[in-house]
Amino acid sequence: MPRKIGNLTLYSVDDLHELLGISKLTLRSYLREGKLRGRKLGVSWYVTEEAIREYFEEPQPEPTSASAAKKKEATIRYIVQGVNDLVSETEECDTIEEVIETLNDQAIISLFQVQVVDRSTNEIIEIIKARDFLEKHA
């Protein structure tokens, strides 16, 4: 539930996750990268309503035809997920670079694994520990 301080409304990562349906992992990544403007107070991130508006009003670059074609041709997707009850978040990535970026944002990599999934059949091709994935692809 958003916190009201006078006329200021603050949204936590949990609030945004519930309201927008975006994973907490992605939200924290956007905050660290500055894609979404927020402030960290103690161990928690907070975002104002104004910062949310700014994010959605900012024009997004048009993808080039080459990158759009590359995405269409991709037959594999990657799912980064926690391996125990301490980390229950899941993040879906389209490229190896996205997986590497997501894993590098984690404090404890050993708590994650990567599923390599065939897009057309949704069949899991491989499940690999996050550290092994980074060693293989970084």
Q: What would the pLDDT profile of 34-62 be if each residue is shown by its tens digit? A: 889 999 888 889 999 999 998 888 776 66
Instruction: Say how far apart CA 122 and CA 96 lie, in whole Å.
Output: 18
pLDDT score recorded for residue 87: 72
Encoded tokens for 106: 């984690």
DSSP 83-101: SBTTB--EEEESSHHHHHH
Q: What would the pLDDT profile of 49-102 be if each residue is shown by its tens digit? A: 999 998 888 776 666 655 554 554 468 899 999 887 777 778 888 889 999 998
Q: Percentage of residues in the chain with pLDDT exceeding 90?
A: 28
Instruction: Say how far apart CA 68 and CA 64 lie, in whole Å.
Output: 6
State the chain's mean pLDDT as an integer: 84
Q: What is the reported pTM?
A: 0.47
